[in-house]
Structures are given as C-alpha cells and as structure tokens.
Structure 1
Amino acid sequence: MKVMVGGTFDPLHDGHKKLIERSFTIAGDGGEVVIGLSGDVFANRKSHPIRPFEERKADLVAFVENLTAEMNSNAVWKIEELHDKYGSTLDTDFDAIVVSEETFPTAVEINRLRKEKKRSKVDIHQITCVLADDGRWISSTRIWKGEIDIHGNLIK
C-alpha cells in the first residue's frame, strides 16, 4: 500500500512521530511511505520560527531510519518537498493519507479535488493527537513558546 503523510515537522515531536509510525504500519511490508516535508517558503507561514529545510529533513531521516529498524519494516520511503498543502497528492496514485485531527479537513479537501480531476479517492486515516501533561495537544507552537517539550512534558 502507498501511503502519504506530510508536515513541517519542526521540532519533530511525539505527535509527529505517532503520525509517521502509523503511516508505516498502514503501508505494511512491501509498502511505500511518501513523507511530504514543508519547504522553507511554505513553512515560514507559521507563527513561530522554522529551522531550514535541510536541518528538518536530517532529523526526519534519522527518525525514520531508526523507526523502520525498530519496526523491522521493509517499506520503502522517501521525503518530498512541499510547496503547498497538497504536494503531489492531487496527481499521484496512492492508497491512503494519514492525518491528525488538526489536518483532517485538508485530507477531505484533497479527496474533493481528486474527484474533480477524475482521480480515485484515497482512504483517510486520522490519528488522535498526542496530549501533553496538561491534557492539551502537543504542538510545535507550544514547544516554541516554551510551554512543553517534544514529549509533552510541561516546562516549569
């Protein structure tokens, strides 16, 4: 199965890790995972500073290499640069997209646009967001603000 997932992944936190791990689980042995990583221009629309693409990509590669070794996964994977919220999802053949509660509306929009282009709909797999110690979502914004760390632990 070919699975797509995307994000800015800065900093790479436990919520992101759950999203990526789920993508590999869905892809299964012999599957493929395409990880869309926001390019610098697209990423800089965020309300907090974003590290350069190559730094974020290096962190992502290290995480995925470790994850696939731990999972004993033989799924193939690649990282593609995103210049908008769709990436190649509108024109590429794939089976599923993995999203968070926060990005679910984008996946619905992708399927609507694919239908307009006479392309097949894809399965949407939504994970629940990982909660910090205070019961709120772990997010990059909260980490950059110094509220929590990448695991959702409150910073005193």
Structure 2
Amino acid sequence: MCTEEYDVIQMRRYKKVVVGGTFDRLHLGHKALLRKAFEVGRYVYVGITSDEMIKDKPYAEKILPYDIRLRDLLKFFEVNGYSNYRIIKINSAIGFADKIRSLDAIVVSEETYKGALLVNKARKEKGLKPLDIVTIDIVKSKIGSKISSSLIRAGLIDPFGNPRR
C-alpha cells in the first residue's frame, strides 16, 4: 500500500456520512463538498433533491431535471473512482437523514450549516444520535462571491467560477 493511499484511509473517521443538495450544474463548490464526504466517510449517502422540491429556488425554471443532475453526479463519481455510495432522491430538507440510524456525520458548507442543525433536531426527536457536522469553506468565484448554481443559471459565472462574458 502506498503512503498516499494509507493517508486517505487514515482520514476516514466515519463509517457512514450523508451529504445532500440539488447538484444543479455540478460546480467546484459541489465537487469540494462531495470530495470531503468521500474523504471523511467510508460510505457516503447522497441526497439529491427531487424536481418537485426545487420549484421555489432562484431561476427554478432553469434547473436541470433530476435525471440529468443524477447522471452528472454518477459521471463525477465514476471519473473520481468513487464506488462506496448510495444516491437517494429527497423531497424535503431533512430527506432520509432522520431515518437511517447508522449515520455518523453530515457534510455541509458554511452556507448550509443551519440545515445540519435541523437534521440533528429531527434525529433527536426520533430518538437517534445527532450527527457530527463536517463543514467545508465556501468556494469563491472569480467575481468575489461564492460559486453557486444560481449564479451559473443567471449566466453570471461558469461552473469553475469564471465570469461569463
């Protein structure tokens, strides 16, 4: 076993972690979030929002359909050699995180930290242990704000955070 592989294995602190999102126009922020989930967890549950759940998001009419968002996630996992995951369609902010007893941690960005607190509240109400919260920094775009699907849908930046001309 090479040292690099050993280091990655040593970083995995949790058996099962959860991460969720819309994952529209998979961008550098999404990829950082997903990479962190696979870095700290041996098995990753990925919640992806249903088409019904996204109707009130900014530029909702421009959000890619669930099937395309799912395809893009699967492609990203394949390219990166990730095989230890399960993708589950979600219809609420809590999704399935209050139903799987064996989860250990949730991976979020600074922006979605409050969502992790809601997940833990829902778990507590059902008698489940709270999840450790692993937080990543927000990935900034070249125009100064965070990289977001909303800015991409608005045509202001590309998925790498570069300004659109």
- TM more than 0.5: yes
Match of 1:20 in 2: 34
Match of 1:86 in 2: 94
TM-score, scaled to structure 1: 0.91
Structure 2 stretches lacking a partner, 5+ long = 1-14
Match of 1:54 in 2: 67
Instruction: Work out whether residues 37 and 44 of structure 2, in 8 Å CA contact, stay in contact via their aligned partners in 1.
Output: yes
Match of 2:22 in 1: 8
Match of 1:116 in 2: 125
Match of 2:12 in 1: none
Cα deviation, residue 111, structure 1? 0.9
Deviations 1:102-124, CA, capped at 9 Å, x for gaps: 11101011112211221101100
Cα deviation, residue 134, structure 1? 2.0
1:146 aligns with 2:160: no
Equivalents in 1 of 2:28, 2:127: separation in Å? 36
Larger Rg: 2
RCO comparison, higher one (Cα < 8 Å, 6+):
1
Equivalents in 1 of 2:125, 2:94: separation in Å? 14
Match of 1:42 in 2: 53
Deviations 1:11-35, CA, capped at 9 Å, x for gaps: 11000000000000001xxx21011
Secondary structure class of the residue paired with 2:155: coil
Identity of aligned residues (%): 39
Equivalents in 1 of 2:70, 2:63: separation in Å? 12
TM-score, scaled to structure 2: 0.86
Equivalents in 2 of 1:76, 1:154: separation in Å? 35
Taking the TM superposition and a 5 Å limit, the aligned residue runs for 1:69-84 are 69=81, 76-84=84-92
Secondary structure class of the residue paired with 2:119: helix
Equivalents in 1 of 2:22, 2:77: separation in Å? 15
Alignment RMSD = 1.1
Instruction: Work out whether residues 94 and 118 of structure 2, in 8 Å CA contact, stay in contact via their aligned partners in 1.
Output: no
Query: Which amino acid in structure 1 is aligned with residue 85 of structure 2?
Result: W
Cα deviation, residue 56, structure 1? 0.7
Equivalents in 1 of 2:29, 2:85: separation in Å? 19
Cα deviation, residue 135, structure 1? 2.0
Structure 1 stretches lacking a partner, 5+ long = none
Equivalents in 1 of 2:131, 2:16: separation in Å? 10
Instruction: Work out whether residues 94 and 122 of structure 2, in 8 Å CA contact, stay in contact via their aligned partners in 1.
Output: no
